[in-house]
Structures are given as C-alpha cells and as structure tokens.
Amino acid sequence: FVNGKFCKDPKDVTEKDFFSSGLDIPGDTSGRVGSNVTAVNIEKIPGLNTLGISFARIDFAPYGLNPPHTHPRATEIIVVVEGTLYVGFVTSNLANGDNRLITKALKPGDVFVFPTGLIHFQFNVGKTKALAFAGLSSQNPGVITIANAVFGSDPPINPDVLAKAFQLDKKVVDYLQKAF
C-alpha cells in the first residue's frame, strides 16, 4: 500500500473515499481556551493514505487561543480568513540552548508556516471571532497540546519530574494536574 497503491482495489474506489464535509460549520469555541480545530485527515478521508496531506478549520472566539502545541509528523501552513491572529513558533535549541520565538500578527489573507515538530500557537487578539484554514503535510499529522500532554496525561507524569522541569512548587503541579 506504499507509494501510490490504494488500500482498496482501484476498481472499487469511489468519490466517497476522497470526500468529507462540514468545514462550513464553525467549531464550538465555548470551551476554556476559546478555540476549536476541525481536522480532516485519514480518519475522515481514507483515500488520503500515503498521500501526505490533510486539512483543518480553526475557529476562535474573541480572545480565543489555540494553545502551544506541536504536530509530531507535519508542517502546518495557515491562511487567516477572518479576524486578527497573533501567531508564533519557537525554534529548536541552538548550541547555546536558546529558543527563538518567531511571531507575526496576521490579518485576513495572510499566510504563515509552522515548521514540522515546532511548538506554535495562534491567539485571537481581536474583539471578534476569527477563522483560519490550515494545510498539514501528513495524512496523520498528530497533535500534542503542550499543557495537556504535560499536565493532563493519563496517567499523570510523576509530579517530581514536572516540579523539577518547570521549576514549580509541587502544590502548583498538583493544582495543574487536577485542572487538566
């Protein structure tokens, strides 16, 4: 099934294997962070297998945040359709251990790239809702929301690890692990 062979016999493939719907419907942004990602990947479109791309709609409430996260197997490219987004990513450690933050305020029609595996975020800094579309360079990009993965994993990470890593009091770690 590698390199251009479909999983199904090509004679049995139909348009349904390459189709998905619903990206006209805003995601629910009433949650705590005020953003919602509607992903269209190989789970929804089986014909994407081996094709190396997927898509997403990202909705933001006013002041909504798509919090710092990574895609372990994909670069992301977004276009802002509505609203104003303050976006950024942090580069890998250089030899001296620094992490550079690259940011940009985006308005409708602006396009920005988040290179594969780097921590990035999108923040709606306007009073109105915002909307972006994104292409991702994998049919199965994965997403790791940093705060959830670190403080909300199942089971939880050993609090000693987090207290030491984040220079936090264990009470704060405990509070965070309960919150996520």
128 near a second copy, judged by CB under 8 A? no
Segment 132 to 171, residues that bind a second copy, using CB under 8 A: 133-140, 142-158, 160-162, 164-168
Tokens standing for 125? 């800094």
121 near a second copy, judged by CB under 8 A? yes
Segment 13 to 72, residues that bind a second copy, using CB under 8 A: 13-15, 18-25, 32-34, 40, 42-43, 45, 47-55, 57, 65, 67-68, 70-72
Q: How far is CA 112 from the centre of its chain?
A: 14
Count the residues of the shown chain that bind a second copy, applying the rule CB under 8 A: 117
d(CA 84, CA 125): 6
Residue 173: how many CA atoms within 13 Å on its side-chain side? 17
174 near a second copy, judged by CB under 8 A? no
Amino acid at site 11: K
Cβ-in-10-Å burial (0-12, 13-18, 19+) of 120 comes to buried
> Which residue among 8, 62, 117, 159 contacts a second copy (CB under 8 A)?
117
Q: Do the annotations mark residue 93 as ligand-binding?
A: no
Q: Do the annotations mark residue 158 as ligand-binding?
A: no
Count of Cβ atoms closer than 10 Å to residue 96 Cβ: 5
Q: Cβ closer to a second copy: 123 or 129?
A: 123
Residues of the binding site: 66, 69, 71, 76, 120
